[in-house]
Amino acid sequence: MSELLNEIEPAEEAKEGWTCETDQDAEWCLLQIRRANAEKERWKAHYKAMLESMTASCDETISRMEMFLYGYFKTVPHKQTKTEENYPLPSGKIMMKAQNTSFDYEESELIAWLKEHKGGKFIKTKESVDWDGLKSTLTVVGDAVADDDAQIIPCITAEEHEPVFKVQLKK
């Protein structure tokens, strides 16, 4: 069947003002969308591979230059502050910057420990709206929203959207 679809082309396709009028025309349109999607994916893959290659090459150059600069940095006297050591150059500066300590913890275990040892002192409680539950009770009236008791909720507005035409291709 796909060979047959490849050969289907409406006679007026090239003419301005052509319209889709038959199932055969619609099938031809779907085929053109499928072909365009395939072409788009082929080009995306091509450029993704090129980007990955160029990124790797640039990253390698940057890494090599940073290694040279680090070796140079160790040999020159540099300014030292509480959070960094730096050496200024006309085109920038090279520096060693102190990093913050990182912590790794299992939240549920830490919460249990805090409840037991600190009385829950460092545990936050977060309020949030149960939107799915609330939404099922709402009624839209123009751009206003009313709850199931017919009370307008002033802090919620609604905006209706037009239906959107879509084309779905079979796999």
Distance CA 98, CA 83 (A): 5
Distance CA 152, CA 105 (A): 45
For the chain, what is the mean pLDDT? 87
User: For residue 33, what pLDDT is reported?
Assistant: 93
User: For residue 98, what pLDDT is reported?
Assistant: 87
User: For residue 2, what pLDDT is reported?
Assistant: 47
Could you read off the pLDDT of 50-88 as tens digits, one per residue?
Answer: 999 999 999 999 999 999 999 999 999 989 998 899 999
User: For residue 9, what pLDDT is reported?
Assistant: 54
Which token pair is 15?
């003419």
φ/ψ of 62, rounded to 5, equals -60, -45
User: For residue 120, what pLDDT is reported?
Assistant: 80
User: For residue 15, what pLDDT is reported?
Assistant: 63
Could you read off the pLDDT of 84-112 as tens digits, one per residue?
Answer: 999 999 999 999 998 887 889 899 999 99
SS3 content of the chain, % helix, strand, coil (to 5): 45, 15, 40
How do the domains of the chain map onto residue ranges? 1-78, 126-157
Q: How many CB atoms lie within 10 A of CB 84?
A: 13
Distance CA 76, CA 87 (A): 8
Q: Is a pLDDT exceeding 70 seen at residue 10?
A: no
Distance CA 48, CA 160 (A): 38
pTM over 0.95: no
Collapse the DSSP code of 158 into the 3-class scheme (helix H, G, I; strand E, B; otherwise coil) and give the result: coil
